[in-house]
Structure 1
Amino acid sequence: MRLTWIVAAVIGFSSQAYAGLEQDLALCAAQGDKLDRLLCYDKLAAGVAKPGRQAPKAAAAQAQPSASAAPAATAVTTTAEAEFGIHRKPVELDVDKLYLEIASVQKDLYGSLTLNFTNGQVWKQVETRHYKLKAGDTVFIEKGALGSFLLGSDDRNATIRVKRLK
């Protein structure tokens, strides 16, 4: 009889702990900002690893950024042209095609091109196809499939895949 009560108590406590964890996860999932959501999940993981876990509302409150921190993060103003092609930036851009003038062209040992543009951007060819370019040419770079970028010119019907280095 005593064993039955112990088993029932263990099942009851574990189901309540599981329900509390589900509520905590739901609070984290409701976070709109990616960084806030990640911080909330990290706090939950740290609380699960330690015996004294935080209350769900306290973890969610700590994950919320302060009102003074938000303007500082958005105070940095960037232009769409300067951020085009950089994958590490979580900025949504509305530029799909960008026209640039080539300042210089270098070839590596494998024949891949490294292009320096007049605006300071540096792009590198990521495939081995031959594509002839020279300084002073005006080319476009447009978004391709799966986050890739294509370089081409209006007078040719061919493009090459490129990635931004700088």
Structure 2
Amino acid sequence: MRISWITAVAILVSTQATAGLEQDLLSCSAKADKLDRLICYDQVAASVKSAPKVTSITSTSTAAATTAITATSVAPASQAQSVTAIPTTLPANIEDEFGKRNLKQTKEEAQKEITKIYMEIVSISKDAYGALKISFSNGQVWKQSDSRRYKVKEGQNVFIEKAALGSFILGTDERNSTIRVKRLK
């Protein structure tokens, strides 16, 4: 009976300690200034390190419970410290490229951009779901990504064209229907 009371008290104390630690971490993450946030995280880590250790009890089951308590209360602090170690500055070329695709292109860039290519089919196979897997003479392999039926033959010339939202469509000049495809190789 005594062991169960001691275990219950240890669990209650650990949940309250974890809740307080979580509140401290949440208040630190809410700070807008990077330096203030770092200082706050350092203070939380220091308070976890200086927290009094749970006194050892003669029972082995409660000793295991107290070990679990201290391990859970230390883990969030070490995670907070690892978050602050991430570099906050990115190389300038990454920032220049970010979102550049959505900018309007000049006429020269628009003329240079390839939007449609013609290729000859070398082999055709189907996967377990009936989607076409098409190999072309230039070594590229494309797979059908929608579920529509579409007939093609080996040796046939087809086009692959850019479509909306970064997708691609495969079709022929003889027909007005197309299928969505994605490149595998």
TM-score, reference length from structure 2? 0.43
TM-score, reference length from structure 1? 0.47
CA radius of gyration, larger in:
2
Bigger helix share: 2
